[in-house]
Amino acid sequence: MAPHAETDSGSANGDGRFSGENTTTSPASNGNLFVVSSPNVVYTDSEILSKYTYRTTSVTQNGAGKYVATPKETVYDFKVDRKIPKVGMMLVGWGGNNGTTVTAGIIANRRGLVWETREGPRAANYYGSVIMGSTMKLGTDPQTMKEVNIPFHDVLPMVHPNDLVIGGWDISGMNLANAMDRAAVLEPTLKAQVKKEMAQMVPLPSIYYPDFIAANQEDRADNLIPGSKASTAHVEKIRQDIRDFKAQNNLDKVIVQWTANTERYADIIPNVNDTAENLLKAIEQGHEEVSPSTVFAVACILEKTPFINGSPQNTFVPGAVELAEQHGAFIGGDDFKSGQTKMKSALVDFLISAGIKLTSIASYNHLGNNDGKNLSSQRQFRSKEISKSNVVDDMVEANSVLYKKGEHPDHTVVIKYMPAVGDNKRALDEYYAEIFLGGHQTISLFNVCEDSLLASPLIIDLVLVTEMMTRIGWRQSSQAEYRGFHSVLSILSYMLKAPLTPPGTPVVNALAKQRGALTNIFRACVGLEPESDMTLEHKLF
């Protein structure tokens, strides 16, 4: 690859900051903060081209049953489209606690709002967003030997959330200002500053198949597309809604997220939803087992609009995954990982990788929002119980020193609906473990999660990362065409409880590994090695 060249429109300033072009209204999205000086990285007006050597270790077993570890190198070419597009975020369940909260939060940030609270003034921020609120190590200053860390958002030319155009659907026709009041999440002094704008926002009518969510949701359902089961007409209506939203707002692309109620699991039925062809036929025939979320997924796939499932149900039945692969459309899920489970995946990772034998997890919470009301119905709770329970599997299976094959900690999940606490979920967890010489360690946690304020930044991260993935191409040899990543975006796993992965690939739930994958894939796209904590430069001199 030719030595890296900076074009006039993207040149390093005197201080080495790279002032990229295609700036938008938001300062933080104003190109990259840095430039990579490498023969493997080329900056053009429209692209970042990098050659990346991916180093892994292939492990086999020899005749004597001994592992043989062989270092492997694969050279990839990555291409990043540097033009930051105008992006729409369409939420299914826009009138819910998460939908109203994330909408108010983006408006507050866009306008730089400050509001009074009992503890004094508070200013809009994106805390809790890994992309907007965290940093990554770029490298080390050779003079000072100190780490240089940059905002995560600056590693690639990503969209700024302030620039997102927001819309969506809800079975409740309440405008966003009244729905924000219904959610009872935000301070009145903040609501007062955004309610005028939000009162103009009214969710599009949506599809409602009563059997998939709790019966106690029926009283909200006053904003419906006719029809109480799947149909091709429903798919086409949703596709048209997406096209209309894109045209009305002059958007380059749209990302759709499901933040509507948790549905019951759909049965996987041969000749119904097991293949793409059967699923489309089942929808055409109005099969009762096709859920609203799967209809939305199919509509988005056919519209080549990325679709992310923020709830725990099995939206992506095998036929939906196959359809996404056939159409080269991005899908991702499942179930935002906001508070109790995020803590669990970090704590379990720490305990087991410290050689402490976790033997039981009691995971209880109660909450009083509409999500909790929906989950008070057993079939909807079951969807959540699955996503909250499976999050430790990979960490347990990876440690054969502590756990025999098939052995795992006891794990129970309890969720109770207690209206009085509203959106401020109380999570009570007990982690019980065996330690040295028959000892025990008991960790009890009381974790008050303001659920929508924790989930809303994840909705933003999912949109920003998904949109970025639509602008990244890869190939394995210079003769090949660039392609997109696999349709199933497992790179999103850090934000999700039950990560969806390409068929046949393993699920990684360990939080540090998930963040490492996100960080290092984005670094690779600008030709940088994975973050290494070896710091040999501080040890070998």
Ligand X SMILES: O=P([O-])([O-])O[C@@H]1[C@@H](O)[C@H](O)[C@@H](O)[C@H](O)[C@@H]1O
* Closest to ligand X by CB, 285 or 424: 424
Q: Is 170 a catalytic residue?
A: no
The active-site residue, picked from 170, 335, 371, 461, is 335
CB of 453 to ligand X, least distance (A): 12
449 is an interface residue for ligand X by CB under 6 A: yes
Q: Note whether 492 binds ligand X by CB under 6 A.
A: no
CB of 527 to ligand NAD, least distance (A): 35
C-alpha 90, offset from chain centre: 15
What string marks each residue from 449 to 468 as x (binds ligand NAD by CB under 6 A) or -?
A: --xx-xx-------------
Q: How far is the CB of 326 from ligand NAD (least distance, A)?
A: 25
The total of other beta-carbon atoms located within 10 Å of residue 17's CB is: 14
Q: What does 261 bind: ligand NAD, ligand X, none (CB cut-off 5 to 8 Å by kind)?
A: ligand NAD
- Closest by CA to 300, choosing from 501, 100, 466, is 466
CB of 422 to ligand NAD, least distance (A): 11
Among 32, 231, 259, 389, binds ligand NAD (CB under 6 A): 259
Rounded alpha-carbon distances, angstroms, from residue 536 to 136, 139, 145, 362: 19, 13, 11, 41
For the packed helices 232-248 and 292-302, what is the interaxial angle rounded to 10 degrees? 60
The DSSP H or E segment spanning 9 is none
Active site residue 72: no
> CB neighbours of 111 closer than 8 A, spacing ≥ 6?
124, 193
Annotation says 425 is catalytic? yes
Active-site entry in 349, 425, 429, 451: 425
Calculate the CA 213 to chain-centre distance.
23
Query: From the CB of residue 354, how many other CB atoms can be counted at a distance below 10 Å?
Result: 9
- 76 forms bridges with which residues in the sheet? 52
Max CA separation in the chain (angstroms): 73
Number of residues engaging ligand X in binding (CB under 6 A): 19
User: Residues in contact with ligand NAD, total (CB under 6 A)?
Assistant: 34
Q: If phi over 0 gives left and psi between -120 and 50 gives alpha, with beta otherwise, what is residue 51?
A: beta
SS3 label, residue 298: helix
CA 257/CA 247 separation, integer angstroms: 19
Contact between 315 and ligand X per CB under 6 A: no
Residue 294 touching ligand NAD (CB under 6 A): no
**Closest CB to ligand NAD among residues 35, 427:** 427
The closest alpha carbon to 395, from 358, 438, 444, 369, belongs to: 358
Report the distance separating Cα 257 and Cα 87, nearest Å: 13
Residue 292 binds which entry of ligand X, ligand NAD, none, with Cβ cut-offs from 5 to 8 Å by kind? Answer: ligand NAD
In whole angstroms, how close is the CB of 311 to ligand X at the nearest point?
A: 8
375 in contact with ligand X (CB under 6 A):
yes
Binding mask 335-374 for ligand X (x = CB under 6 A): --xxxxxx----------------------x-x---xx--
Under the binding rule (CB under 6 A), the answer on residue 311 touching ligand NAD is yes
Q: Is 451 in the site for ligand X (CB under 6 A)?
A: yes
| ω into 334 cis (within 30 of 0) | yes
Considering Cα of 408, then 451, then 305, then 171, what sign does the dihedral take?
A: positive
| 3-class SS of residue 108 | helix
The listed partner (ligand NAD, ligand X, none) that binds 457, CB under 5 to 8 Å by sort, is none
**497 is known as an active-site residue:** yes
* Residue ranges in 337-356 that form contacts with ligand NAD under rule CB under 6 A: 338
Structure tokens at 512: 């540090």
Distance CA 531, CA 519 (A): 8
* Residue 335 found at the interface with ligand NAD (CB under 6 A): yes
List residues binding ligand X (CB under 6 A). 337-342, 365, 367, 371-372, 375, 384, 388, 415, 425, 427, 449, 451, 497
List residues binding ligand NAD (CB under 6 A). 92-93, 95-99, 169-172, 206-208, 213, 220, 259-262, 292, 310-311, 335-336, 338, 369-371, 374, 451-452, 454-455
